[in-house]
Amino acid sequence: MTAQLISSITILVVSIFLGIELISRVPTLLHTPLMSGTNAIHGIVLIGGMLILGSADSSLEKTLAFVAVVFGTINIVGGFLVTDRMLDMFKRKKETDAEAPDTADR
């Protein structure tokens, strides 16, 4: 194995452990704002994957870049859907006719 491959694997493993530690310590109230920030970061991943896909030489590079684009897109769309759903929980419910006080009897 080359030194660059060992360095890349080490960075991957350390980032996995760091991500697990950070995510496990996030309070529930901060989840929605952090989701929005994560969507922005995945937008950068998506752009980077598309740039690499456009300049890839080997089929391995093309495959990995395509996978990065697909996963980045899934994370962005899913993140916005989850954020939207969570923000809907904080909206006030509209008063329906059945729940409205009956003012016709006055």
Predicted local distance difference test score (pLDDT) of residue 102: 57
The per-residue pLDDT for range 31-77, each reduced to its tens digit, is 667 766 777 777 888 888 899 889 988 898 899 889 989 988 888 88
DSSP result, 11-66: HHHHHHHHHHHHHHT--GGGHHHHHHHHHHHHHHHHHHHHHHHHH--SHHHHHHHH
The overall pTM is greater than 0.95: no
Q: Is the pLDDT of residue 82 over 70?
A: yes
For residues 36 and 6, give the distance between their C-alpha atoms in angstroms, rounded to a whole number. 33
pLDDT in tens, 55-65: 988 898 899 88
